[in-house]
A and B are shown apart, each in its own frame.
Chain A
Amino acid sequence: MMRLPQFHYYRPRDVDEAAQILAGEDDAMVVAGGTDLLPNMKRRQQTPRTLVALRHIDSLKKLTNGAGLTIGAGVTLTSLEQNKTVKSAYAGLWQAAAQVATPHLRNMGTLGGNICLDTRCNYYDQNHEWRKAIDFCMKKDGDICWVSTGSKKCLATSSTDTAPALIALRAEVELVSAAGRRTLPLQHLYQDDGIHYLTRRREEILTNIILPQAGATRSTYWKLRRRGSFDFPVLSVAAALEFDEHDVIADARVVLGAVASQPVVCAAVNEQLRGKGLTDEVIEDMAAACAKAAKPVKNTDFAPHWRKRAVAHVTRCALRELRGDDMRETRKKLARQSLI
């Protein structure tokens, strides 16, 4: 039986209390659903001395409709999946949430947890004994990156499903610490470094995810993985497009997941899409541009060159779906489920 190491456990009842505990502890981590942290602890990838549980904080479990939608970081992925507003107004987020891991893990895992998901690498996501056999890597206990032995930085892959969808939807996140609170675009929560992949400070708690009013924005999320369940993405494409009354794109956001240490916002693509209609030709150009932006490395399932090739196909699927093409059969084949 894989066992947890020892830890101190705090069960704060509100965010302030949690923030204070974090401020006073050097080696503490917050834990919500536990589906990312606890396996990592069992494999000794992460070994915090102190765990601060967020699951008992009711304010983090709220979904609030206002000008947009404010989602508490402690809302489970299943709750998101079952929320009618999310499904109708933020389809991309819904599709992303519904494809995380497995139904059981979605019952446990939270949106905040998925956003902060530890970057993944198949030299890193291994038991301590295995990592000892390769003499560890720079992300934990070692000093080399085995993915690219010349690399100065860790190349672990951002594997969150919900973040690309949320970034495409222009989500902001709220961070709270004992010192105060700040809000920033979700995109800015990330940086392209497998170890320091979050700009969140250690003592900060992700409390809310704030989505602007959906308005006329249509969104979608396409995920590639070997199996229709369990697996993390080896590539994902999130897109949110706002069309004017003439079916011309007024605003565009295409975000790639699992091709770098952070979600990749295809800024050039977004620029190019604005003011255009989604003709086949435009879609082809965008698919090629996205493939160019993707830089997958050899640390997930599937070969990097194949993942890069697949970007064009998946981007095309995403944009065609937003155009209104019937993509149900293709979706079923790629996702192994209908997602309707």
Chain B
Amino acid sequence: MNRVTTLKRSTQENAHISCRVNGEPVQVSVAPCKTLLEMLREDLRLTGTKHGCELGECGACAVLVDGDPILSCLSLALDAEGCAIDTIEGMAQDGQLHPLQAAFADLGGAQCGYCTPAILLTAKALLDRQPNPGRDRIREALSGNLCRCTGYQQIFEAVEEAILRLRRTEQGTDLKSVPVGARHNP
């Protein structure tokens, strides 16, 4: 079917988008020239998705669409129709940090935290498909995410630590992901 949407920016007649965000059905009315980034941040107020250039040159706005890491700054909100979108807000489940999140927090994977949501989601997409990537594979998978703080090394180590923790969880050993706000016992 040929669907035509007429768009005028200043006389914004909003488009209506139905999609799933973090596993939940969402209906949103959005200015049709907006990108997915703008829709998430401004219309759904999911400000965990960041922006650093809005031109596809930094990777800070990455989210998962149908499981793939993509740049929300170069995706039209209109194209989110019917898609499953995962943002950082949905990464912790049932009050438990994802092992990647816990490892990043523990091992210095996040300094200022601005590139962190996009890197975590990108790493999650990697581990969802390839549970045991080596350092080079991790390095390449994250090569679309600039980080100005860490020098990446602690990020790689955090991903590797998360791989270990995930494996231990799968094997049913006692090391579970650390609960949100875990009490630290030095």
Q: A–B direct touch, CB within 8 Å, in complex?
A: yes
- Inter-chain contacts of A2 with B (CB < 8 A): 53-55, 73
- Would you give the shortest CB distance from B80 to chain A, in whole angstroms? 12
Contacting A103 at CB < 8 Å: which of B33, B34, B55, B69? Answer: B69
Contacting B33 at CB < 8 Å: which of A3, A11, A104? Answer: A3
Q: How far is the CA of A17 from the CA of B4 in the complex (A)?
A: 12
Within 8 A of A (CB), among B87-138: 122, 136
For B7, B38, B59, the residue with the greatest tally of chain A CB atoms inside 10 Å of its CB is B7
- Inter-chain contacts of B37 with A (CB < 8 A): 1
Known: A9-B32, A11-B2, A13-B2. A1 touches B143 (CB 8 A): no
Interface magnitude class on chain A? 35 or more
Q: How far is the CA of A37 from the CA of B10 in the complex (A)?
A: 22
- Inter-chain contacts of B70 with A (CB < 8 A): 104, 107-108
Q: Smallest CB-CB separation from B71: which chain A residue?
A: A104
Q: Does B153 contact A (CB under 8 A)?
A: no
- Inter-chain contacts of A228 with B (CB < 8 A): 143
A5 touches B38 (CB 8 A): no
Within 8 A of A (CB), among B46-98: 51, 53-57, 59, 62, 68-71, 73-76, 78-79
Q: Does A39 contact B (CB under 8 A)?
A: yes
Within 8 A of B (CB), among A1-60: 1-13, 17, 21, 33-35, 38-39, 42-43, 53, 55
B2 touches A7 (CB 8 A): no
B144 touches A103 (CB 8 A): yes
Inter-chain pairs besides A6-B33, A13-B1, 20 sampled, C-beta below 8 Å: A2-B54, A3-B38, A4-B33, A5-B33, A8-B5, A9-B4, A10-B5, A11-B3, A11-B4, A35-B56, A42-B55, A102-B144, A104-B59, A104-B122, A104-B144, A105-B144, A108-B70, A230-B57, A337-B139, A337-B140
